[in-house]
Chains A and B, each alone.
Chain A
Amino acid sequence: MIADPYLPQPLVLAHAIRELPDVFTWTFEVPGGFAFKPGQFNMLYVHGVGEVPISISGDPARPERLVHTIRAVGNVTRVMDRLSVGTALGVRGPYGSAWPVEEARGRDVLVIAGGLGLAPLRPAILHVLANRAEYGRVVILYGARTPADLLFRDELERWRGRFDLRLEAIVDRAGPGWFGPVGVVPRLLDDVPLEPDDAVFVCGPEVMMRFVARELERRGVPRQAIWLSMERSMKCGIGLCGHCQLAGSFVCKDGPVFRFDRIAPLLAVREL
């Protein structure tokens, strides 16, 4: 660890597309490849404005394209939303723990995503689909606010069309024109058979993940078979600034992907 971990690597924004009114996807082209594991994140720096942690949402098998899906919610991300292709950004990473795609080999995989939580799970899904024979049943459950808020809708519909996976999407509310289920993500679990040996990856708003984990446990899935991706305030991304602590863990280096048995008691303590 001789290099100074606070120095960002400059990368030029190659593509930017709008996914939803407040969500956009950025692609950087990195000829040497930006290797990462599914679930990891980068600290993205906007010159003179600031730095934010953003999960990598691209294909780990295509490291020459570094992809992030970003929601414009704060000072830095709102500025990012207005930047044009050709702008240079600073990148530090990849940081954090990964979805256990190796450990899940040979098992049925259940991916449960809510809202923007689909973005950090996308690399894991792509990895599983690219190595399909190594996994058992693959089920993807996704919840969003309304049909217009379904992220990566085209890709969801392509995945749904495959014969070797099952994908269900549910929305909190819908107007006319939506013929899918309406309700919360746990509702989709009702129709999914669950085994204690399943590997379950969950990512979404924290309260939704707690609900889903509770439902999974009720249906007999042990805590050691469930992984969540947590979010906390981050400044350095490398375990030095102290901001992202969740009791004895740093979300930036012990997480963001945590096995549920290791953090379940912590999630139950308010304001921990």
Chain B
Amino acid sequence: MTHTIDRDGLAGLLDALIADGYELLGPRVHEGAIVLDHLQGLEDLPCGVGDEQGPGHYRLRERGDRALFGYAASPHTFKRELFAPRVELVQIRRTANGLAVTAPPRPARKRAFIGIRGCEIAAIGVQDRVLRDGPYADADYRARREQVFVLAVHCGSPAGTCFCVSMDTGPRARGGFDLALTEILDGGHRFVIDVGSEPGRALLERVTAPPATPDDLAAAEQVTEEAARRMGRAMPPTNLRDLLMANLEHPRWQQVADRCLGCANCTLACPTCFCSNIEDTTDLSGEVSLRTRRWDSCFTSEHAYVHGGSVRPSLRARYRQWLTHKVATWHDQFGVSGCVGCGRCITWCPVGIDITEECNAIHDTIGS
């Protein structure tokens, strides 16, 4: 069922979530970027702010209107909330006759993801397959995943690096939400809102939300169709998995390695990257030791280290590993692509490497 709400209605939804004990996490302007942070209410959302994104380029701009969601991917992803950068896994204490192993408490926290886009919802779905639905589940991820309310936004303002259409993850969010809204500015600032679950429906009942009129529905559809037409790039129209795995020695890999700095920004910005490391620390007495899971990156030289050296000493091999994993071997491992077309890796690469350009370059020169 689809409804329409106005600004006050949206404010009401946010307040109702807070009243129900949810921490609101969503976009805010901070130091020239839109970051994900705690929201106290509607007034914290970036009003009239838009973004310009390109390879290695990110700027905020004044939109000249009062749009609350008039921008695209933030440098932050909601991955930080579910697959946290630093998590205590286990505490181990030396005892008189052995070791005492204690799992840290995993307090239930109710979180609401405000303004999450289709590409990121798809990314969460991808991480669910990796970290929660396999033969072994990450307990911390699973616990955090339990009580998340998703208030999604169907995109109306793609930035220059988006390619969700090519990866079939947007601009409209494909499920995975409790409520999803399309922001309409023409003819009165309002939001057409889709109900995606029972908790979403229940929340919506607490604000004024008349059924959407045919005009509202048409306006909403136009917003997302217009967004789909403004994609700046696309992956080549082919089976990416087969393309890359058949071209592991393509000269393009060396060409991109010559530009790549190995800075790992792409892996930090990507909403699906899941590599982690486990670190051991002890307290001064040496009695209590902690094992901590931390974000890691396949670009580091230690990532593939075995006795005798790294299996991937060259940057060329490590770049190839990242990209082939992301768009090719991820399919073999999890039955889905690891890329959701959010464009963050392109925006946040200091030298502006564009993975769609790399894949197209290989596609266009097969056999070279």
Interface on A for B, CB 8 Å cutoff?
Answer: 1, 4-10, 12, 45, 47-51, 73-74, 88-90, 231-233, 235-236, 238-243, 245, 247-250, 253, 269-272
Contacts and interface: CB of A to CB of B under 8 A. Distances in A.
12 contacts: A1-B135, A1-B136, A6-B291, A7-B90, A10-B99, A10-B101, A12-B98, A45-B291, A88-B99, A90-B92, A242-B296, A248-B332
Given A48-B286, A88-B99, A243-B303, A271 B317 contact: yes
B275 interface: yes
A240 B276 contact: yes
B138 A240 contact: yes
Interface of B: 89-90, 92, 94, 97-101, 103, 130-131, 134-139, 245, 248-249, 274-278, 280-282, 286, 289, 291, 293, 296, 298, 302-307, 311-314, 316-317, 321, 324-325, 328-329, 331-333
Contacts of B282: 47-48
Given A7-B101, A48-B289, A240-B138, 17 more contacts: A1-B136, A4-B90, A7-B103, A47-B92, A51-B291, A73-B307, A231-B306, A232-B304, A232-B306, A233-B311, A236-B278, A242-B275, A243-B275, A245-B321, A245-B325, A248-B332, A272-B311
Contacts of B92: 8, 45, 47, 90
Contacts of B97: 12, 88
Contact of A236 (B135, B276, B331): B276
Contact of A90 (B101, B311, B316, B331): B101
A232 B311 contact: yes
Contacts of A7: 90, 101, 103
Main secondary structure of the interface of B (DSSP, over half): mixed
Contacts of B136: 1, 5, 238-240
Nearest to B83: A240
A243 B282 CA distance: 24
Main secondary structure of the interface of A (DSSP, over half): loop
B313 to A, nearest CB: 7
Q: Which 7 A-B pairs have the closest CB atoms?
A: A248-B332, A271-B317, A242-B275, A48-B282, A248-B329, A88-B98, A238-B136
A14 B137 CA distance: 32
B280 A50 contact: yes
A239 B101 contact: no
Nearest to A236: B278
A235 B294 CA distance: 11
B287 to A, nearest CB: 9
Nearest to A231: B306
Given A6-B139, A8-B92, A241 B304 contact: no
Contacts of B333: 248-250
A245 B134 CA distance: 16
A130 to B, nearest CB: 29
Given A12-B98, A271-B314, A5 B276 contact: no
Given A10-B99, A241-B278, A243-B304, A1 B245 contact: no
B135 A4 contact: no
B258 to A, nearest CB: 16
Given A88-B98, A233-B306, A236-B276, A4 B311 contact: no
A1 B139 CA distance: 10
Contact of B276 (A8, A242, A245, A253): A242
A90 B99 contact: yes
Contact of A253 (B135, B137, B311): B135
Contacts of B101: 7-10, 90
A4 B263 CA distance: 33
A2 B324 CA distance: 32
B278 A235 contact: yes
A262 B229 CA distance: 42
A222 to B, nearest CB: 23
A240 B131 contact: yes
Contacts of B321: 245, 272
Contacts of B302: 233
Contacts of A1: 135-137
Nearest to A9: B101
A48 B282 CA distance: 5
Contacts of B293: 6, 241
A233 B137 contact: no
A128 B274 CA distance: 40
Nearest to B95: A88
Contact of B89 (A6, A232, A243, A248): A6
Contacts of A49: 280
B277 A272 contact: no
Contacts of B305: 233
B277 A47 contact: no
Contact of A269 (B130, B139, B248): B248
B313 A271 contact: yes
A163 B152 CA distance: 72
A43 to B, nearest CB: 10
A4 B274 contact: no
Contacts of A272: 248, 311-312, 317, 321
Contact of B307 (A74, A88, A236): A74
Contacts of A12: 97-98
